[in-house]
Chain A
Amino acid sequence: MSTASEKKQGFWREMIYNNPVFGLYLGICSTLAITTTLNNAIGMGIAVIVVLTVSNIVISLLAPITPDEIHIPVYIVVIATLVTVVGMLMQAYTPTLYSTLGTFIDLIVVNCIILGRAEAYASSHNVAESARDGLMMGLSYTFSLIAMSLIRQILGTGLLEFSNPMSNQVIFSLRLIPEAFVIPVFTTQTGAFLTFAVLAAAVAAIKNNDEKKEAAALKAKADAEKAAKAAAAKAAAKPVKEAA
């Protein structure tokens, strides 16, 4: 993580700087596969938020009593249990969404973001900090999925549509692009890679821009300090000269 990113504390800044998908390139497989509709993105996002937050809390609680040699099996058992629970609840209450997301729900177990945060953060921080980290990482991931799915759905189908995941009833459906002008490739994997590349480049550009600004600010500050020191030295030397 860069110096610039560490200093950015706002919600949206955190969404961009600590974004696991476009910033850290984690969890890309499911992102590319399921972001064909807004429904999929929100469903998957909520599942990951729940698993990530609860796993971070449980792992943070277990960390003090877990020897290093078995910490990975412990994490995997906790994460796999949570994913299975979330999968069963989704199958029961949102069957359409469950069948659409299919195997990607089960594959949350091996999502790098979950195990990565457990290993890098939750195991060495307290419960409250770990819960916050899980929530923020989950929200960042969901934010990425929503951004990808909005672009792909609108350009690929011309529709902005969202339906109730429990009853499958359409809540809103808005045609933004006439059917004759849609670009169906965006609903395919090629479209997924294109969208991902554009968004990753945009996030990198924002980061680079901020880092340049920060470097310029630091340079200006250093110059000002140098000038102030020189002025102070000059001022201190003058009375001596006058006295001489």
Chain B
Amino acid sequence: MNREGTLYKAVLLGVLCAVCGLLLGGVNALTEPIITEAAIANEKANLELIYPGASFAAQDFTDDSGYVQGVYSAEGKGMIYKIHATGYNSEGFTFLLAFNDDGSVGGFKVLEENETGGFGKRCFEDPYVSEVNALTSNDSAPLLSGATLTSTAIQKGFAAASALFNSRK
């Protein structure tokens, strides 16, 4: 084959890309389970807050809303969604929302928040937390007077998680 010809150059680049693709595929097959395991290990302490002692696995997901950061299955218990939403504080807050296998809320735990005490912070205290815990995946999270921005953010995050949960059924 003529080394200066277009065909030679195309074949050379094609073969090189194929070899590189194979190499990347091999390394990905080797490292992916370890990366997934490490991601769960980091999150496991948080997930245990909702389903203690369960066996967790990270799940692939597509969330167009941008609220859901992670989805984890708890074998024989349900699904846990890690959600980041922005209320009054511009840095936002992160919480876990779980749905039991029957569709009822399995848990609602805040991981990080810096909302205003007496206002937005009430969304992470009773009676609001108890209200959320009594919902199902077909419901909408309630709004809280005096904490409209924070509860609206929770409502949107709840809707994103329940949409993902319902789509899996």
Contacts and interface: CB of A to CB of B under 8 A. Distances in A.
Contact of A89 (B13, B27, B38): B27
Interface residues of A, number: 20
A26 interface: no
A91 B9 CA distance: 34
Given A92-B31, A92-B34, A74 B24 contact: no
A70 B9 contact: yes
A77 B38 CA distance: 29
Contact of B31 (A69, A73, A89): A89
Interface in B1-55: 3-4, 8-9, 12-13, 16-17, 20, 23-24, 27-28, 30-31, 34-35, 38, 42
A69 B9 contact: yes
B24 A77 contact: no
A80 B17 CA distance: 11
A227 interface: no
Contacts of B31: 88-89, 91-92
Interface residues of B, number: 19
Interface in A63-79: 65-67, 69-70, 73-74, 77-78
Given A92-B35, A93-B34, A85 B9 contact: no
Interface in A95-124: 95
Given A67-B9, A91-B35, A74 B27 contact: no
A190 interface: no
B27 A88 contact: yes
Given A88-B27, A91-B31, A92-B35, A74 B20 contact: no
11 contacts: A62-B16, A67-B12, A70-B13, A74-B13, A77-B20, A81-B20, A88-B24, A88-B35, A91-B35, A92-B31, A93-B34
Interface of A: 62, 65-67, 69-70, 73-74, 77-78, 80-81, 84-85, 88-89, 91-93, 95
